[in-house]
Amino acid sequence: MSKHESKTEAEESNRMWASASFVGVLIIIGLPLWWKTTEVYRVALPYDKISSFDQLPRKVAVDLKILAYDDVTAADLEALIEKAFEDSDIIKPRIQKAVLSDELHHALEYVADELDAVEEINRAYNLTERNCFYLVQRRNLFQHVWLGEERVMFFRDSEASRLVVESLLRWVYQTSVLSGVRSETVDAARSTRLPPAAGYHVVLSVVHPTPDKLEVEFDAKEAVEDYIGTFVDELSYLHNFTLKSQWLYLLDFNFQAKEVKDINEDRGRHFSVRRDRLHLLLTSLEERAATHVAALPTINLALYIVPCHLSPLQIYYDDDKPVQATMQAFMSPKWGGVVFASPSAPDCGHQHPAFHPHTRLVMGTFLAQLRPLLGIPEVDYIPDAFLVPLRSVAARKWEVDSLVRLRTLEQITSAQRTLQSLAQLLGEISNIVITDEVGASINSAVESIQEASHLLAEGDIMNAYDTSKRAYLAAETAFMDPSLLALLYFPDDQKYAIYIPLFLPIMFPVVLSLKNLLLWFRGKPVHKDKIE
Amino acid sequence: MAFCIIFLTLILGAFGEEFIEEIFIKPLPPTHLYSYFQFITLVDTESFVHSNLAPRSIGEVISRFQVDELHMTLTEGQWRHSQWGYPVLDAAPGAELYAWFNPEVKDIDLEWRKLSATLSGLFCASLNFIDSFNTITPQMALWPTGAVKSNLNVTTLLRYASLPREIVCTENLTPWKKLLPCESSRGFSALLNSRMIHNTNYHSIGVHVRKVCASEDCTETKLEIKQTVALVYDYKIIGSNDWSFRKLFGHGLPGACPLATSSIIHVDITSNTSYPFQLSPMPDKVVQSRRGGSDLKLAVYEIDASVEMINIGVKHSTKEKLSVIIPPPLHFNRYVLGYGKEFGGIVTELVNNYWTAIDVVVLENAPWWLPIQLSSLRINSEAESKLVKSQYYSPGRSRQKPYHLELLLKLPPRSTTTITIDFEFVFLKWQEYPPDANHGFYIGSAIIAANLPTAKNYTSLPVTGINYHSTINASQSWYPAVFRTNGAMVSLPTPDFSMPYNVICLACTVVALAFGPLHNICTKELILKPVGTPLSLTQKILNFFKRKKE
């Protein structure tokens, strides 16, 4: 009997070891092997750094120099400015205060014109330094605060301190626009300007619907190069600009214009076009303007030569009020602008109708449209503070500084958001492949973001801009890489259709035998399976 | 009118651009009618950035990829050379693209891929499928038609690809029309009504960009952007052999494009002698053209921008007349040989009807999945033929490079030359099969470049010519022509595409069936059960079912 017992026990252990080896081969070796071989390839990514972007320095350091007649005024102003920027999470002014030297003091007293006064300051201090702004006291000022094109603001006395702070916030540093970059909701300036890019194509299209009835003399090439070229030269270290022009003929568009009696007009009438009709013109322009062939984003400027039988054309608001402006024009955010040039009555009445569009007016309107499109917001009016109106084509120096800060912040924020959404997507969709190249550009984007944030906090805006551009481009490349999608559409049901016929019949008995195996290893008597 | 001319000269003076539109209509008796449109824009090479009449999108593409000469055609249907003679510009069925790049381009293959991808987007065609595996560099068959520096080795700068499977339709015509300065609202392009022109036996649209000499000594060059449309109407589809613009295009011609310097229609009325017909309205003039053995009469209409609707048409005086078609001096045919799914062959037959020998270059371009072996090349069933003057063969590589064979042949007078080459069928990977794999696989057309000794049936422009007027009395010692043979189709061994899944399921079932007993034998033992032992719950349930079964 004992022999029989030991024999069954030996058999029992044989069976159990056989069962254990099945488990060993299938579950311990097979499953990890299967897991490893069917895994989606992913490079290790710096998730911790991506999630801790919020802890990077958020403020932009700016240099501010106060030059006052006496220490008290300077100290008061400094205290006021520091208090005003205390709450701002964007701008951190580094204020230096000084008393005007006697020489400069005298010079400023005797110079009548403000522009000459700026020239005097330029002689004493270096005004070409970016990100450095001067607040200078000037007693013989007609206004409380005066701001020109250079990086200098004059103020009359300590009474003007509040105005100085307000102009700094709203004009020079544009804090609301800057904070709009980080906010979740899109503000007006952000919805208007084009997203950051390495360069832009600026294409002037002269639209001439009736080439057989009206002769138009307009040198598009010269106009673009003279006006737009001068304007974008100042910004050329921010983006590469390519200036182009083209003519589009016979573009049919039905304005649904209505004839309206107008006693001020030579012809005794004008044609009214409703504002809500105009966006349809963009569609027909887009068909012909060939904007999509360029490698870079395109800013479209269209000069629409209104046919004689429709001129003068007058845009009307939705409430049937005409738009009062010298040039009839409209702008489409992130697309470009359209200017209507209506030939006058003598132009059309001639035997050979000919029309010279007023180049300065037309291009001036385009420039006004180009500024917000490129990210220079409209300056609003502050009572008692005087802002010298733009005389030249180029942007004001402090506007350019502000644009650099804006674009840097925008690129950093955009790169951060791109990487964060990529990280989130990777968590949600397990089929996304991350190749070595994509991993490398993600890593370089993360590093550039960190570097750019620190450079901004140190006030080195030019280097910060370049670094942020690298970060932005690297993040976009990583996010847009087609290799991400290689396995995205490999459907799960097809995987199961292949795995189930294989795994289900094999795994079922193996998994069931686990129970007996565990009992046996613990030394408990195994309830024997019986087969009749 | 006078004002128009003054105005146009002003435009030209200011921008150095010129736009010409032309139509050439030739009856192909007894059953067909050929109409050929060409829209030519001449541009100063510098003024790409600032364009007036030239399409900016083409300019952008040309300057971005540094292309010196570009030819792209999208064709539906097959030109029948033996019946119809020669077209002004021949095109391979489907899509065809070839370009010469600037010598300064570093990586031509990369630029070539970018170019084809961009054009694909521009014309809504599948040109993005062009890659190294279907691109060749023809050595002898294709030469630039534009001005090139004479000391330049242009062959290395050339890339050629054709997509015979491409189907051409309205979505290609619409972007093509947008490149014209008058778009489709005015001028000759207003005739290109997609409803009518896709109702033809053959239609082909093309864009050809080349450099032409701006001055006599050719020190300066201009860029010529030529957009062409070739249509072959069948009188059966029109309903009668009396044609008119209204029948062909759906409506009359609404005058010339106001931006064009010349808008001219040429109608070939040579066949008037054998098939008498009456043109209406009467042409402005009739021109006699003697060119290399052919004697043509062309009716010329000069169209004004200010003119009302014109409906040019023809009325035949006699109905139904049979005639013998005289084939052109050189024509050809191509077909596939073989049966089964292992070996096959391509045969190209070249017929020289003329009384002198004709030099031709034949370019065979077989995709990598159709390996052609040079050893199997037979010309008139001879392995070593005296007709072959020069030969170039570049073997293909699987999934990387197509097979490419070029032969320079001297076709003897009044003879038929047969070129045969064998291929074997290849198994593709299952993902490489196109949708509807049982439809068959297209082989691209062969290119035949010939120097014709006669201008019979020859309608092409001379190399230096820009407008159609340059063909009149343009006799030369020989007439260069590039033809495309008909394409062919083979049926590759095509698997049952559900097979892999079936195999997986079957194999899994077998594994599962084998595994179950094996696992049981190894891990379970058989025990005798004494009668009367209490039954477990599961056994009771099992017994219950068993009883029910009985």
pLDDT digits (tens, 9 = 90+) for A38-49: 888 899 999 999
Reply yes or no on whether the pLDDT at B506 is more than 90.
no
Ramachandran region, residue A241 (left: φ > 0; alpha: ψ -120 to 50; beta: rest)? beta
Tell me the helices (H) and strands (E) count for chain A, helix number first: 18, 16
Reply yes or no on whether the pLDDT at B314 is more than 50.
yes
10 Å CB burial of residue A347 (0-12, 13-18, 19+) is middle
What is the model's pLDDT at position A4? 62
Closest CA in chain A for residue B503: A498
What is the model's pLDDT at position B169? 87
Q: Which residue has the higher pLDDT, B537 or A245?
A: A245
In chain A, residues 482-501 whose CB comes closer than 8 Å to chain B: 497-498, 501
Spatial distance between the Cα atoms of B228 and B36, rounded to a whole number of angstroms: 7
Cβ proximity of A365 and A327 under 8 Å? yes
Distances (CA, A) of B239 to B84, B246, B250, B271, B406: 20, 13, 14, 20, 43
What is the model's pLDDT at position B4? 39
> Average pLDDT in the A356-378 region?
93
Nearest to B516 among A247, A509, A513 (CB): A509
Give the single-character DSSP code of B155: G
Cα distance from N-terminal residue to C-terminal residue, chain A? 24
ipTM for the predicted complex: 0.86
What is the model's pLDDT at position B24? 96
How many residue pairs from chains A and B have C-beta atoms closer than 8 A?
119
What is the model's pLDDT at position A166? 92
> Average pLDDT in the A410-424 region?
95
A397-428 vs A436-458: helix crossing angle, rounded to 10:
140
What is the model's pLDDT at position B273? 83
Partners of A365 in the β-ladder: none
| SS3 track for B367-418 | CCCCCECHHHCEECCECCCCCEEEEEEECCECCCECEEEEEEEEECCCEEEE
- Cβ count near A263 (within 10 Å): 6
Single-letter amino acid code for the residue at B282: M
What is the model's pLDDT at position B321? 67
Cβ proximity of B56 and B50 under 8 Å? no
pLDDT tens per residue, range B122-160? 999 999 999 999 999 999 999 999 888 888 888 999 999
How many CA atoms are closer than 13 Å to the CA of B148, on its beta-carbon side? 21
What is the model's pLDDT at position B11? 42
Query: Do the chains contact at A528 and B525, CB–CB below 8 Å?
Result: yes
What is the model's pLDDT at position B412? 95
Q: Does A527 touch chain B (CB under 8 A)?
A: no
> Average pLDDT in the A396-418 region?
94
> Average pLDDT in the A208-226 region?
92
pLDDT tens per residue, range A1-54? 455 667 778 888 888 888 899 999 988 998 899 888 888 889 999 999 999 998
Query: Do the chains contact at B522 and A19, CB–CB below 8 Å?
Result: yes
> Average pLDDT in the B187-208 region?
92
pLDDT band at B14 (very low <50, low <70, confident <90, very high): very low
Mean pLDDT score of chain B? 89
- Beta strands A91-99 and A60-68: pairing type? parallel
> Average pLDDT in the A493-510 region?
80
Q: Which structure tokens are listed for A189?
A: 């300036």
Query: Do the chains contact at B529 and A531, CB–CB below 8 Å?
Result: no
Mean pLDDT score of chain A? 89
Query: Do the chains contact at B515 and A506, CB–CB below 8 Å?
Result: yes
pLDDT band at B380 (very low <50, low <70, confident <90, very high): very high
Exposure string for B310-335, b = 16+ CB within 10 A, e = fewer: bebbbebeeeeeeeeeebbbbbbbbe
Residues in CB range of A372: below 8 A, 6 or more apart: A189, A192, A193, A331, A378
> Average pLDDT in the A324-353 region?
91
pLDDT tens per residue, range B434-458? 888 888 899 999 999 999 999 988 9
> Average pLDDT in the B25-50 region?
88
Backbone angles phi, psi at A165, to 5 degrees: -60, -45
Cβ proximity of B490 and B370 under 8 Å? yes
In chain A, residues 248-307 whose CB comes closer than 8 Å to chain B: 249-252, 287-288, 290, 292-295
Nearest to B259 among A246, A249, A498 (CB): A249
A102-110 vs A114-124: helix crossing angle, rounded to 10:
160
Determine the residue among A217, A247, A352, A356 to mutate to test chain B binding: the one whose Cβ has the most chain B Cβ atoms within 10 Å.
A247
What is the model's pLDDT at position A2? 55
Q: Which residue has the higher pLDDT, A60 or B8?
A: A60
Backbone angles phi, psi at B454, to 5 degrees: -130, 155
Tokens 């019949």, located at residue: A505
What is the model's pLDDT at position B6? 40
Q: Which residues of B touch A502 (CB under 8 A)?
A: 504, 508, 511-512
Reply yes or no on whether the pLDDT at A365 is more than 90.
yes
pLDDT band at B301 (very low <50, low <70, confident <90, very high): very high
Q: Does A124 touch chain B (CB under 8 A)?
A: no
Exposure string for A63-95, b = 16+ CB within 10 A, e = fewer: bbbbbbbeeebbeebbeebeebbeebebbbbeb
Closest CA in chain B for residue A291: B57
In chain A, residues 191-230 whose CB comes closer than 8 Å to chain B: 203, 211-212, 215, 217, 219-221, 224
pLDDT tens per residue, range A441-491? 999 999 999 999 999 999 999 999 999 999 999 999 999 999 988 877 777
What is the model's pLDDT at position B458? 92
Single-letter amino acid code for the residue at A23: V
Reply yes or no on whether the pLDDT at A175 is more than 70.
yes
Reply yes or no on whether the pLDDT at B520 is more than 90.
no
What is the model's pLDDT at position B516? 86
Q: Which residues of A touch B56 (CB under 8 A)?
A: 203, 244, 246, 290, 293
pLDDT band at B1 (very low <50, low <70, confident <90, very high): very low
What is the model's pLDDT at position A292? 80
What is the distance in angstroms between the Cα of B420 and the nearest Cα belonging to chain A?
A: 43
Cβ proximity of B26 and B266 under 8 Å? no
Which uninterrupted H or E stretch holds B495?
none
How many CA atoms are closer than 13 Å to the CA of A214, on its beta-carbon side? 29
Reply yes or no on whether the pLDDT at B527 is more than 70.
yes
Predicted TM-score of the model (pTM) = 0.88
Single-letter amino acid code for the residue at A348: C
Question: CA nearest A111: which of A81, A73, A135, A139?
Answer: A139
Spatial distance between the Cα atoms of A439 and A437, rounded to a whole number of angstroms: 5
What is the model's pLDDT at position B261? 93
> Average pLDDT in the A212-238 region?
92
What is the model's pLDDT at position A384? 87
What is the model's pLDDT at position A135? 92
